[in-house]
Amino acid sequence: MLTRADLYSLEEYARLRPEFRAQVIAHKKIRRVALGPNATLHFEDALTVQYQVQEMLRLERMFEPEPIQQELDVYNPLIPDGGNWKATFMIEYPDEDERRQRLARLRGVERAVWVQVADCPRVHPIANEDLDRETEDKTSAVHFLRFELTSAMVDSAKQGAAIRMGIEHPEYSAEVTLAQAVRESLAGDLQ
């Protein structure tokens, strides 16, 4: 978990922001998994969360301890704890009408996402622990997912086993084997 001591002051962040931002953008590239043309998993960790908090503090000009702690309390749950992966799941259709139609047909898609380490069973996520993101009419374009892994999965991932991810929904399916850089980055989250 991040604490206030892990954050830069507003002044320090203003000075370091270009370099820090470039570092985070490069880091995020190896933590992004496209599942077909319209769905993406963005895996979070301490660095991605720190960047989000720093940007919020910068935007809102927060420097008082209490609002800073509130931001940390909101974002810290997105940091994996060593036995899981946490991701922002995004469904993206550029055309607004198509997006509205697809989101209506993709209800439950967040529960149809899966990860698989080596030959271990597929793991489906615990979705949207913060609030429900689905109505009777449609699903949200953004979901927050937590994939809980067994110790065998953690060990296999850390030893370099193949990791596959996908979606198995009646209206959308995709499957991918992670590239080495992505696999290594995600394995680095595990203890």
Q: Tell me the average confidence (pLDDT) per consecutive run of 10 residues in the chain, 191 residues long.
A: 95 97 97 98 97 96 92 94 97 96 96 97 90 82 96 97 98 98 97 94
In degrees rounded to 5, what are phi and psi of residue 152?
A: -65, -40
Residues whose CB falls within 8 Å of the CB of residue 5, separated by 6 or more in sequence, listed in order: none
Domain count within the chain: 1
Cα–Cα distances in Å, from 172 out to 35, 38, 52?
A: 10, 9, 30
**pLDDT for position 156:** 98
pLDDT of residue 132: 72
Q: Residue 141 is which amino acid?
A: A
- Closest by CA position to 71, among listed 148, 140, 6, 128: 6
* pTM of the predicted structure, to 2 decimals: 0.92
Host domain of residue 35: 4-187
